[in-house]
């Protein structure tokens, strides 16, 4: 009888221990599952760098659309045929730049969206001021417009260059390639404007004297195109 009792006690203890181990295994499994879900949730959230990249895309999307209107005005206001053609060419390029930005938005799974770009607003406002302050048909106006346009180009070069590097960092190779094409065209436009200025515009503008600049007669400026 004693032996039977001892055996039963051992069996009961072993069963209890086995049950406890099973509960521990279940608990560990639940913890593991919870950790995996938490990690998955964290991975689905965009990083701060990804958010900044998207924000800068919105910024440039707005900037390029505003630049379309600005280039049209600068083309109509330029004196020489060479500068007019340069603005016309870049106007067409800017339309393609907008389409490329829309492609990049699709690559990252976002809807194309514009966010007001204060920098471009200011640069275009300066271009409008130059047109209002210079004499129509003068080379001084062309010289000033070239500088205004190159300020815009330098802003775009800096922004697109940064976007390319961010895309590379985030392994968005296709987006980087698309943005780099636009960057190259911005650099080519900047060089074209330099060539036009150095070839004859600046030298001949110097011969015009002071009549080409009308700061004292400047009309009240509007805040936008």
What confidence score (pLDDT) does residue 218 get? 42
Do residues 170 and 50 make contact, with C-beta atoms less than 8 angstroms apart? yes
Q: What is the pTM of this model?
A: 0.75
pLDDT for 8: 45
- Summarize pLDDT for 130-178 with one digit per residue, the tens: 999 999 999 999 999 999 999 999 999 999 999 999 999 999 999 999 9
Report the alpha-carbon distance of residue 177 to residue 175 in Å, rounded.
5
pLDDT-based confidence at 41, cuts 50/70/90? Answer: very low
pLDDT of residue 182: 99
* Each residue's pLDDT tens digit, 203-216: 999 888 655 555 54
- H-helix segments, 78-138: 81-107, 118-133
Q: What pLDDT does residue 161 have?
A: 98
* 9: pLDDT strictly greater than 60: no
């Amino acid at each position: 009888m004693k032996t039977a009792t001892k055996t039963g006690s051992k069996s009961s203890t072993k069963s209890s221990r086995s049950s406890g181990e099973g509960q521990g295994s279940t608990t560990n499994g639940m913890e593991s599952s919870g950790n995996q879900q938490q990690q998955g949730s964290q991975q689905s959230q965009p990083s701060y760098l990804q958010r900044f990249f998207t924000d800068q895309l919105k910024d440039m999307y707005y900037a390029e659309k505003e630049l379309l209107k600005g280039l049209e005005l600068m083309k109509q206001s330029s004196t020489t045929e060479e500068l007019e053609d340069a603005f016309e060419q870049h106007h067409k390029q800017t339309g393609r730049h907008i389409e490329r930005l829309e492609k990049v938005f699709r690559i990252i799974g976002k809807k194309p969206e514009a966010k007001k770009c204060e920098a471009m607003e200011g640069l275009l406002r300066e271009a409008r001021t130059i047109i209002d302050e210079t004499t129509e048909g003068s080379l001084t106006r062309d010289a000033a417009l070239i500088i205004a346009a190159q300020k815009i180009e330098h802003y775009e070069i800096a922004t697109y260059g940064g976007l390319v590097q961010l895309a590379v960092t985030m392994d968005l190779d296709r987006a980087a390639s698309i943005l780099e094409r636009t960057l190259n065209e911005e650099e080519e436009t900047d060089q074209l404007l330099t060539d036009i200025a150095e070839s004859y515009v600046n030298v001949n503008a110097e011969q015009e004297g002071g009549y080409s600049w009308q700061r004292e007669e400047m009309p009240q400026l509007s805040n936008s195109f």
